[in-house]
Amino acid sequence: MVDEKETVDRRVLASLVPIDGLSSENFEEVYKKTALESAASGSVLFKKGGQDNQAVYLIKGTLDLHGEHGDNTVIRADTPEARHPVAHHQPRNMTATARSDIQFIRIDNDLLDILLTWDQSAGYVVSELDEDDDANTDWMTRMLQSNIFYQIPPANIQEVFKRMEEMPMKAGEAVICQGDVGDYYYIISQGRAEVTRKSPTGTDVRLAELQQGDGFGEEALITECERNATITMLTNGTLMRMSKADFDNLLKAPVMHEVDLEDGQELVRDDGAVWLDVRLESEFNNSTIEGSINIPLYLLRLRLHELDEEKPYIVFCDTGRRSSAAAYLLSEAGYDIYVLGGGYR
């Protein structure tokens, strides 16, 4: 039986995986929503087959985990194993029973995954800019040179340009703001803009400058997270924008090739595909798909050169949010990409 709740120690919370990978601002969001709970010896925290969508961490005491085929495990607080969520698979593949009086916390998986995705996708919030690009190059030409457009049907390309809306913009005008809900994908037709992000101290950090032909805003649409940066016009100009629904149907859907675990294993066996885990290294070290390699989402752009352009990759994370963002980035870079549907839990 679960008893009273109290505040969890910040240092303890910050030591847990993957919470230790959150920015300070997103850590505060988790801290505000997390309470330390107590339960007496013999209490059942969850049962095999249950699906509660929560990450459970043992903070004090001892837990017994019972599997279907006698695969029993004991988890003790203050051990390396206790830094990770207890029997994290959903639906649950084990029953967790308190061997002693215990203290534990529960965190919503979706909240944690959204915050992780937001933090990690900020590492590649904009495309790398080529300093040799001619600023006067036609924006449509630059857009069509993206690898994404080699993967979508010609009819979709025509429809993309038909669905886009023109937006005149003034210098100093904010296009999107950090924390907003993502509703459009944008391309700069004329003018320049800058990308900034709030630091934990509240100051604006300049990340990049965008110019004619550069697109932005896809991360929030793909991951269904809040905007992770602010885009402000540096000059008067014109933007072309596309709604989330059109972006999903015309650009995202054609490049998101979902497979299940069985199909993925077949791709590995028959086509030489490689499993690519884009979670944090600490998550990867705790559990992953056998034979996979690990490049966290926030490092993916910097480590693209490590991937073999001749091999297909099957990207995965816990829920599919981070892997979807990674798949779009890799498709843009010209890789043959699949996504593990539903994520790995």
Q: Give the tens place of pLDDT for each residue, 215-228.
A: 888 877 877 778 88
Q: Does the residue 114 lie in any domain?
A: no
**Residue indicated by tokens 């993502």:** 182
Q: Would you place residue 121 in the very low, low, confident or very high pLDDT band (cuts 50, 70, 90)?
A: low
Q: Are 209 and 227 a contacting pair, CB within 8 Å?
A: no
> What's the chain's average pLDDT?
85
* The pLDDT of residue 124 is above 50: no
**Are both 21 and 81 inside the same structural domain?**
yes
Provide the residue type at 327 as one letter. Answer: A
Half-sphere exposure of 124 (CA within 13 A, CB side): 24
Q: How many domains are contained in the chain? A: 3
Half-sphere exposure of 196 (CA within 13 A, CB side): 16
* The pLDDT of residue 325 is above 70: yes
Per-residue pLDDT at 229? 87
**Residue indicated by tokens 């269904």:** 224
Report pTM: 0.59
**Are both 147 and 228 inside the same structural domain?**
yes
Q: Does the residue 88 lie in any domain?
A: yes
Q: Does the residue 118 lie in any domain?
A: no
Q: Would you place residue 232 in the very low, low, confident or very high pLDDT band (cuts 50, 70, 90)?
A: very high
Provide the residue type at 179 as one letter. Answer: G
**Are both 238 and 321 inside the same structural domain?**
no
